[in-house]
Amino acid sequence: MGILAVQNVNKRFGGLQALNDVNLDVEASTVHAIIGPNGAGKSTLLNCFVGRLIPDTGSVIFDGVSLIGLKPHQINQAGVTRVFQTPEIFGDLTLLENVMIPAFAKRDGAFRPSLWSPLQGEREMREAAEEALVSVGMGAKRHEIANSLSRGDKRRLELAMALVQKPKLLLLDEPTAGMARADTNATIDLLKEIAQTGVTMVVIEHDMHVVFSLADRITVLAQGAPIVEDLPENIKGNPKVQEAYLGGAHL
């Protein structure tokens, strides 16, 4: 069994079966991509990993812990960190302050600044935040205001905000969406470096250049169900995959 084991997960929205008996096994220290046409259920599945949605049936076990029924912050504290498609940053704060917030949130389960007492362990968190910023190449910008960053740099900042939590499982929702090619390639290199540190990653991505550059294994979802799971080199020519993409995105 992998570090993330998903068994018989179903999720229905009214009359729509968004996830239809999904099984998925993600090996530790690998990059596992989930691809599929629009509306296939990729984001719904990811939401079931982080406590945003509760599956109607089935189990999600991470590192031996059942995630079903846990609150998002409990899942986060278990070692699962999600990076969103659109940066969720605090525009008026500096980069350093932005990165310190998820560091405290991971430790405390929430970020509750107190007016009366200095934040416990602030120096430690500051150092961790600086380290995370350096790891994404933004150490020199740590005192800049987040709103002043380019779109590509905002995505980088979000990665630093994820890395400061030292996740065991990093969930990435279209990490290069809307990026110019140069930023995309820089992000691929950065994610490869992060993968080499042993962090397990699950990546949802439409850009096949990104998928084939990063993934050790690929699961293809179509209409809520996994139709193929294989090594990247076996995915492109697979007729089932070609069929799933007909009329939609292309490989």
Binding site for ligand ATP (CB under 6 A): 13, 16, 18, 36, 38-44
Residue 186 Cα distances to 1, 86, 148, 207, angstroms:
33, 18, 20, 14
Q: Given the complex with ligand ATP, which of 17 and 94 has the nearer CB atom? A: 17
R_g of the chain, CA atoms, integer Å: 18
Helices (H), the chain: 42-49, 72-77, 95-108, 122-135, 151-163, 181-196, 208-214, 232-235, 239-245
Q: Given the complex with ligand ATP, which of 14 and 113 has the nearer CB atom? A: 14
Closest contact distance (angstroms) between CB of 224 and ligand ATP is: 7
Closest contact distance (angstroms) between CB of 244 and ligand ATP is: 11
Closest contact distance (angstroms) between CB of 225 and ligand ATP is: 12
Closest contact distance (angstroms) between CB of 114 and ligand ATP is: 36
Token pair 């110019």 is at which residue?
180
Amino acid present at 84: F
Q: Given the complex with ligand ATP, which of 169 and 244 has the nearer CB atom? A: 244
Q: Given the complex with ligand ATP, which of 42 and 106 has the nearer CB atom? A: 42
Of 87, 104, 98, 96, residue with least CA distance to 165: 104
